[in-house]
Structure 1
């Protein structure tokens, strides 16, 4: 859809008043906008559309954490093949015509001074409607919103799974440590200097060893689920067949 809008923008150069009358009158004159000025505006619009996020209608590059990296006018000018001065004039015309909105940004630095940051830029849905793409835009934005919801749900599910696996790993690790402590206590000599007979059933002891080994496997690879850890532990501790 964005590619199609970029193509249709060329219609403005043929009949400016028919397609974008507000831009044609942005210079405050009753005369038609000069050709080189019209071309600069279309080139800058096309460059902006290359980096347009349909969900927010914001011009930028997605970054980590769901944020958006804003683009500077010099960068867009380079993408559009315009010199900085001509790009500035084109941006002013687009703003006057309501085809681009710009929110300046800055950050405070030492001694109360401020430094300018890349402004937030938006492209209005009206631009798509002007070229007969309004319905298509609404459809694509709905799809983009659905994709974002699915990604968010998948992230939540993944975080919950990691939390559960971490908790299980900690419990198994605690059980492993407790098992070691119990064996140490039972192996201490009694008052007569001889080891006490703890009478532990062989099968129960084997199951305890499996739990300890499963905890070690989980600690080594948290991606393994409960059943996999115990299955591997039983395979590793099973007595060799004769």
Structure 2
């Protein structure tokens, strides 16, 4: 992708689809070529960001477009922030140094381009810092957010609303699935611990212990695992039940017909 007037080569947009960024973002990255060709009609606020009446110089336009493309590449659709969502619900903001490297710019040139983008209203920035134990402050990567108007300026406003709705729904579903998996793992762990405790208590009392004694005389591992998980859930639902009551109820619910009687009650 060559800049108008032979002023150099711009970074090629990243691939979309599986393993890449959403198609709407690659489309916007490509559409920014229009600003290089005709800055006054595409993004007039950026064209006059330096406060001069004349058109923005080509090299300055290229720097702004390259830095803007780097931020679009890492834009999170649900929040419109620039960065990487984390599995724990947090958000990793990106430093200007990192974005400059992605854009193929030196840090000083990236700083000037970022000031132009902020002045034009194309990037919203919130500075952050944290205090250490000694009371000293250090800067953190700023929070950066791209406005929906940037997409609207290139005729992508309706598409953006559609893609953001889908992205928010995907995130809610992923969070619900993760919570369900966590609950299941917790129930399984509690059931396993409870069953181990029950075995130990019965062994200490001198009684014979069989986790799930089937009628055939062999242990059914699948049924044993189901009972162990169910015990944990029952204990959460009925904290006043003792171990024997949880065990008997789980076995009554899960044992096959003809073997409904809990082995410990025989």
Mapping of residues 73-112 of structure 1, within 5 Å? 73-112=96-135
Could you tell me how far apart the structure 2 residues matched to 1:209 and 1:140 are? 55
- Does residue 29 of structure 2 align to residue 28 of structure 1? no
Mapping of residues 217-232 of structure 1, within 5 Å? 224-226=225-227
The residue number in structure 2 matching 1:196 is: none
**2:130–2:140 CA contact under 8 A, matched in 1:** yes
Task: Describe the shift of the 1:120–1:217 C-alpha distance in structure 2 as closer, same or farther (beyond 3 A).
Answer: farther
**Structure 2 unpaired stretches of 5+:** 1-23, 230-250, 255-266
Cα shift at 1:111: 4.4
**1:172–1:211 CA contact under 8 A, matched in 2:** no
Question: Number of matched residues?
Answer: 205
**1:176–1:212 CA contact under 8 A, matched in 2:** no
In terms of Rg, which structure is larger? Answer: 1
TM-score by length of 2: 0.69
Cα shift at 1:2: 0.6
Mapping of residues 1-242 of structure 1, within 5 Å? 1-183=24-206, 208-211=209-212, 224-226=225-227
State the secondary structure of the residue aligned to 1:121. Answer: strand
Could you tell me how far apart the structure 2 residues matched to 1:11 and 1:140 are? 23
TM-score by length of 1: 0.76
**1:58–1:122 CA contact under 8 A, matched in 2:** yes
Could you tell me how far apart the structure 2 residues matched to 1:2 and 1:133 are? 10
Could you tell me how far apart the structure 2 residues matched to 1:76 and 1:31 are? 28
**1:2–1:49 CA contact under 8 A, matched in 2:** yes
Larger RCO: Structure 1 or Structure 2 (Cα < 8 Å, ≥ 6 residues apart)? 1
Task: Describe the shift of the 1:209–1:112 C-alpha distance in structure 2 as closer, same or farther (beyond 3 A).
Answer: closer
**Structure 1 unpaired stretches of 5+:** 185-204, 232-242
Task: Describe the shift of the 1:112–1:182 C-alpha distance in structure 2 as closer, same or farther (beyond 3 A).
Answer: closer
Task: Describe the shift of the 1:209–1:135 C-alpha distance in structure 2 as closer, same or farther (beyond 3 A).
Answer: same
